[in-house]
Amino acid sequence: GGGDSSGGGGGGEDGTVMGFSQVGAESGWRTANSNSIQEAATAAGIDLKFSDAQQKQENQIKAIRTYIQQKVDAIAFSPVVETGWEPVLQEAKRANIPVILTDRAVDTTDDSLYATFLGSDFVEEGKKAGDWLVQNSATADTTGDGKINVVELQGTTGAAPAIDRAEGFRDSIASQSNIAITASQTGDFTRDGGKQVMESFLNSNRGQIDVVFAQNDDMGLGALQAIEAAGLVPGKDIKVITVDAVKDGMQALADGKIDFIVECNPLLGPQLMDLTEKVLNGEDVPKRVVTEETTFTPEQAKSVLADRQY
Ligand code: GYE
């Protein structure tokens, strides 16, 4: 699919106009992602119309409708949640404007509604987090009662990375009868959200929490503040696992406050511009492009921190 949506008048390097609707500015990951997209557009000579939806789907739908009215050559966006996109994507299709999904997926059975989807495998990220816990279960039993109680700070409710990281993590720990998720709540991928939810977890379960699985660095960093404010030592009294590997997270990992980080690469700009140009030129592109990622322990964080771009 996608071949019939290459109209829209673009294709060359010169004069290509792209509308991009960003989720918001909720995390360090997001800031790095927005910078990457803006820099890559400039480098590719693409005129980028960038809007920030402040984590609200209605704002994204409005922005996409505006881009359709403006007859941009291509629309790219990172959908804040997975569902509810069909009507606006159909409007773009009718206007012959190709849509490229980046970072987060939409939940639709009609894959003619977008040309391609560039982003991470979030289920795999959740699995890597769970695998580390399974492999380190001996030291993760910080309360020493033979059981590992995990509290989870979930990302934005309904967002692909929140749904998929939860799934991957659960898959990985499923066979371990000594590991249980005892509480799970959204912190909306923000530092403040992570701090507040962790405070409430500590208020109701103090002395019983072994591990925090924060679905991004920012919520994990917020949780560290709550743990320290409660007079506990992160990394010792409570183990902390996060996802992203932005600089602040990597620093906390190197300092031994976070125990393990699963990388999620935000530098999608160059690949996004490349895919956009190919789509506008009518070239075949894969329907799914998965970013390559790794994981970090404290020792590894120390050795790469100085060269970290974001
Ligand atoms: O992990 C989180 C951000 O969609 C992969 O969104 C992205 C996630 C990222 O707020 O920090």
Write the single-letter amino acid at 250: M
212, 257 Cβ separation under 8 angstroms: no
243, 262 Cβ separation under 8 angstroms: yes
Rounded to whole angstroms, how far apart are CA atoms 46 and 14?
Answer: 7
What integer is the mean pLDDT of 132-143?
97
* Among 216, 221, 242, residue to substitute to test ligand 1 (most atoms within 8 Å of Cβ): 216
Confidence of residue 12 (pLDDT cuts 50, 70, 90): very low
Given the CA of residue 26, which atom of ligand 1 is nearest to it? 10
169, 214 Cβ separation under 8 angstroms: no
Percent of the chain whose predicted confidence (pLDDT) is above 90 = 94
Shortest-distance Cα residue to atom 8 of ligand 1 = 161
Residues 6 or more apart whose CB falls under 8 angstroms from that of 229 comprise: 199
- H or E, element range at 50: strand 47-52
Write the single-letter amino acid at 77: F
Helices of type H across the chain: 28-44, 57-69, 86-94, 122-135, 137-140, 160-173, 191-205, 217-229, 247-254, 269-280, 298-304
Question: For residue 14, what pLDDT is reported?
Answer: 59
Q: What ipTM does the predicted assembly reach?
A: 0.99
Write the single-letter amino acid at 83: T
Q: Ligand 1 pocket: which residues have CB below 6 Å? A: 26-27, 29-30, 103-104, 161, 189, 216, 218, 243-244, 264
State residue 260 phi and psi, 5-degree precision: -160, 135
